[in-house]
Amino acid sequence: MIIDKSRKVIYLHNPKCGGTFLRDIYQEKYGDTEAIRWWKLYSREYGTDLGHISYDDLPRFVPDFEEYRLLMMVRNPYNRFISGYKETKSQFSTPVRLGGLINYPWKYYGSGEEYNRLSKVEKVYEQMKSALPFTFLHELRKIQLLSAPDFCKWLGSSNRKRQDLFLRNKRIPWLNPQSDFIGSGVTVLHYESVSDWSVLFEAFGLMEYSGRLSIAKDYTMDESFYRILERLYPDDKQLFDWYKKIT
């Protein structure tokens, strides 16, 4: 999330929709300002990933948010799922192999005297439990062993509790519903639209960086994949319907 108080603009960071690119160029131009103070990892204190604060959580961080112009980006939900799957897989690749340092949760969970007394394997296990509470190692391992389409099919045949573990868990936000970042007063922009990116650049005074924009290409997938995803994300139905019209 970017909170630009001077311009009275807030950017809600919907995962896998170019937000990190926007943050990076914002930081390059303006430095480590208060505007990006909440761009952090999962916080036990706040109960959410601070890099991807949802619309419903916004009042806790910006009580006067209604005085701001609110912007967010959505992405073709099929492409976004695959991108989110790849991100989640890369974040949890190391602990599943039980070796080395894990690049995302390790930085946050690796603290505390009790934690530091654990063996390396015990630390990895604790991190995995923290990232995906109330689950078993084989649940998390699924995302390592299955391709994106097969992972999607596995989720589609799973119960709601298991689906929520991966899709509605604020500890691993990359597969969260895009509707979590949409609400009253929010201008919804589209990742695939160069003109919509221009709206973002202009809003934050970043037009000189527009030449760096690189929009990811579509992934190839079969019809069955589409249907399963639509069932997995009922809250994003309007988004699925909209992208069907333009593809």
Enumerate the β-bridge partners of residue 3: 10
pLDDT at res. 108: 39
The SS3 of residue 73 is strand
Give the separation between CA 61 and CA 50, rounded to whole angstroms.
10
Q: Which of 167, 198, 230 is the last residue of a domain?
A: 167
Count CB neighbours of 222 within 10 A. 8
Q: Which of 167, 189, 217 is the last residue of a domain?
A: 167
The SS3 of residue 186 is strand
C-alpha distances (whole Å) from 57 to each of 4, 66, 67 are 18, 13, 16
- Total domain count, the chain: 2
- Model pLDDT for residues 47-89, shown as the tens digit of each residue: 888 889 999 999 999 999 999 999 999 999 999 999 999 988 8
Expressed as residue numbers, the domain containing 186 is: 2-76+175-246
117 and 161 belong to one structural domain: yes
137 and 95 belong to one structural domain: yes
10-residue mean pLDDT profile of the chain (247 residues): values are: 96 96 96 89 82 95 96 96 90 48 39 66 63 56 82 93 89 93 97 97 98 93 88 94 74
pLDDT mean across residues, the chain: 84
86 and 156 belong to one structural domain: yes
13 and 128 belong to one structural domain: no
Supply the pTM of this predicted model.
Answer: 0.81
47 and 155 belong to one structural domain: no
- Closest-CA residue to 219 (of 80, 74, 15, 73): 80
86 and 72 belong to one structural domain: no
86 and 151 belong to one structural domain: yes
69 and 181 belong to one structural domain: yes
Give the H or E element holding residue 74: strand 69-74
pLDDT at res. 124: 64
69 and 94 belong to one structural domain: no
Q: Which of 125, 150, 167 is the last residue of a domain?
A: 167
179 and 60 belong to one structural domain: yes
57 and 22 belong to one structural domain: yes
159 and 230 belong to one structural domain: no
- Model pLDDT for residues 104-124, shown as the tens digit of each residue: 344 434 445 666 777 776 666
pLDDT at res. 134: 47
Identify each DSSP E strand in the chain by its residue range: 2-4, 9-12, 42-43, 48-49, 69-74, 186-190
